[in-house]
Structure 1
């Protein structure tokens, strides 16, 4: 893009050289015309040599020759020499009207190409003060925004973009990706989270398959405590075919659970590559299935978790007993090795044996629970089961 702009400028300059040459002294005018002829024959090096040999004494002649040299050096691929010559021409203040403006614009763009950002800025700002009728001031402000961006001057980036978008001579380009990317970068650096949301929405419209825009949008929505919007964003991203990362899938599952849709949360966890091998993932999924009252799926998930850590046999046993699988529940309780759950395990066995009508074993476990940690529940079972035993005998 930069090469195209400078190339256009060089053509504009060339078209006016013959007309401008008549203002030169006769000797320099003849040399300039010769250089132009060589340039038109694609003999750029020879044209440069003709101009480089000149030593104009008149200020205007010197500025004019340096301007032409700048154009030729650029066409010859020597941007550093082009910057040097154009700087001499611009700083002389001998050039006037549109040609002076175009020359300074070319210099500013070349400095930007050379990454000499701080040097380019004063020229760009000077150019905005007097803009020829055929030129676009909005485009200048866009270059200024780009330059401030490279210098990490974020507030000035947004200020320049605002000027770019609201200038009377230049309409905002809503579909300009580069403009939106500049704006977003500055907004994120300044932590202008709310302002960044419409910018990201515009980028998503332009590039719906770009995962980064969706990811940044959902992240900002979470930062702003907008879980509903974040959930909607991630759902839309998936529908668009965006592959969510591991962390994003976990967040999506959490958001489903918070919205009161734990079964969807559990299904999302199953999308994780580690859902069969990662204990944390399996436990989270089991929790979601249990919250969704999908008891069989919850039992299966807790059993997977228990293979990594036998403490989870406690959850397996509770659900098995709840669902009437008493024998299976008792086997699972035997695998619970957590000392702190000794009384809870004994009480759970009490309930299971009671349901199996094995009152003696139920009473044994009720007493064991009370011996370990005396409680009203254990004492209640002891009293109740003792009465039943007397009645049966």
Structure 2
């Protein structure tokens, strides 16, 4: 992995510089002076009656008597804002383990007067936001997380990630991106989920150039994440950068990162798209033999046609033969015959063409013309002429037939062969 270290190191430096330069552009901007005032406010203590109920409820909770603990807290009330907020906070925490909507009700009551200690208010606001997200109240959850950031002054990667996720769940992908950016910016270390969420949003928004640029960063920060290389190779095709797609997939392949059928087929297709048919065929062939890639109609056809494009006609013929046996397809036999003809294996070509004709191949006249070639170059002029007469039945072949007819007759006459 040495080749990746320089890339990763350079990117870490750039990322650090980016954080320093752009951190002030976060989505939520807390008033830090106000935050300090909240932290400095005096700590209050609950009244004796409420305190006793809280202790009793806590003991019941420790005994796993959750319902009894809730009953104890609901039986007591207070006109004191701090006592009421504390009771509601405990009720909200208890309900959080069993009833989201009740938890949301009491946590909302607890945070509304803003009289709890700084830490308790902060924890309660965060739990409320989490409960709203869990209850699929996404707009309210987003506002709750933003309120928590404003209250605490904490630029939390986790909070921004949850905001981004809420927007994602509402399919508001344009809002996912800046929230995910904030999650990335404020995370103590790079987290794959932050990058994946932004990647998914950019894909949904069809912002393919930005998607590619973002995924390039992902493979540099997480060079050993196999899937990110595959994503990048695939995304390059969206911007029609096929050479980059191929080079990315080649590098991933050389590192052993392409482990799935679909990934190997993508690499092979990129070779084909970049006019490297031999590598396309060899790559697919190798993994068909290993069993990773299925030996099905599409893959056999791919190998055969790419070997043919690479002028490896004998190998192409072999694979067209396998395709023909698998599919019982007349055209596969026709293609096999043409490949054999190209390497002057005339008897094999004739056998394949005859098989195609016996299966009522489309455009039989073309196959008959190929038979003319195969027979003629074996000096079997009588058979060549018979094939030509069959081709002659198709008016579309009249020009080709005329050019061959007199030629075959002359050759046959020279050899004393009666047609």
> TM-score over 0.5 for the alignment?
yes
Q: Does the residue aligned with 1:123 lie in a helix, a strand or coil?
A: helix
Shift of 1:263: 1.7
Shift of 1:47: 7.6
Shift of 1:314: 3.1
Q: 1:290 aligns with which of 289, 299, 308?
A: 308
Normalization by structure 2: what TM-score? 0.68
1:301 matched to 2:305? The reply is: no
Counterpart for residue 402 of structure 2 = 379
Counterpart for residue 77 of structure 2 = 55
Q: Does the residue aligned with 1:20 lie in a helix, a strand or coil?
A: coil
Q: Does the aligned pair in 2 maintain the 1:31–1:50 contact within 8 Å?
A: no
Alignment deviations for residues 162-214 of structure 1 (CA, whole Å, 9 cap, x no partner): 34455xxxx44452123223323333333333333344455555484554x45
Q: 1:108 aligns with which of 100, 111, 129?
A: 129
Q: 1:222 aligns with which of 213, 233, 237?
A: 237
CA distance in 1: counterparts of 2:331 and 2:354, whole angstroms: 11
CA distance in 2: counterparts of 1:67 and 1:243, whole angstroms: 51
Shift of 1:297: 0.9
Q: 1:329 aligns with which of 349, 352, 355?
A: 349
Query: Aligned in 2, Cα 1:342/1:188: closer, same or farther, shift over 3 Å?
Result: closer
Query: Aligned in 2, Cα 1:326/1:83: closer, same or farther, shift over 3 Å?
Result: closer
Q: 2:271 aligns with which of 241, 248, 256?
A: 256
Which deviates further from its counterpart, 249-258 or 285-294?
A: 249-258
1:318 matched to 2:318? The reply is: no
Q: 1:131 aligns with which of 149, 152, 156?
A: 152
CA distance in 1: counterparts of 2:401 and 2:361, whole angstroms: 18
Q: Does the aligned pair in 2 maintain the 1:67–1:86 contact within 8 Å?
A: yes
Q: Does the aligned pair in 2 maintain the 1:79–1:110 contact within 8 Å?
A: yes
Counterpart for residue 164 of structure 2 = 145
1:193 matched to 2:214? The reply is: no
Shift of 1:392: 5.5
CA distance in 1: counterparts of 2:230 and 2:80, whole angstroms: 62
- Equivalent pairs, count: 363
Query: Aligned in 2, Cα 1:310/1:97: closer, same or farther, shift over 3 Å?
Result: closer
Counterpart for residue 120 of structure 1 = 141
Q: 1:155 aligns with which of 156, 162, 174?
A: 174
Normalization by structure 1: what TM-score? 0.72
CA distance in 2: counterparts of 1:69 and 1:276, whole angstroms: 58
Alignment of 1:14-25 (within 5 A): 19-21=43-45
CA distance in 1: counterparts of 2:230 and 2:266, whole angstroms: 11
Q: Does the aligned pair in 2 maintain the 1:320–1:329 contact within 8 Å?
A: yes
Query: Aligned in 2, Cα 1:50/1:19: closer, same or farther, shift over 3 Å?
Result: farther
Q: Does the residue aligned with 2:317 lie in a helix, a strand or coil?
A: helix
Q: Does the aligned pair in 2 maintain the 1:44–1:75 contact within 8 Å?
A: no
Counterpart for residue 20 of structure 2 = none
Alignment deviations for residues 18-71 of structure 1 (CA, whole Å, 9 cap, x no partner): 9521xx6xxx24642784598589579698776555432233443344345545
Counterpart for residue 6 of structure 1 = none
Counterpart for residue 109 of structure 2 = 88
Shift of 1:237: 4.3
Alignment of 1:336-355 (within 5 A): 336-337=356-357, 338=360, 341=363, 343-355=365-377
Counterpart for residue 3 of structure 2 = none
Counterpart for residue 25 of structure 2 = none
The structure with the larger Rg is 1
CA distance in 2: counterparts of 1:368 and 1:138, whole angstroms: 77
Q: 1:245 aligns with which of 261, 284, 295?
A: 261
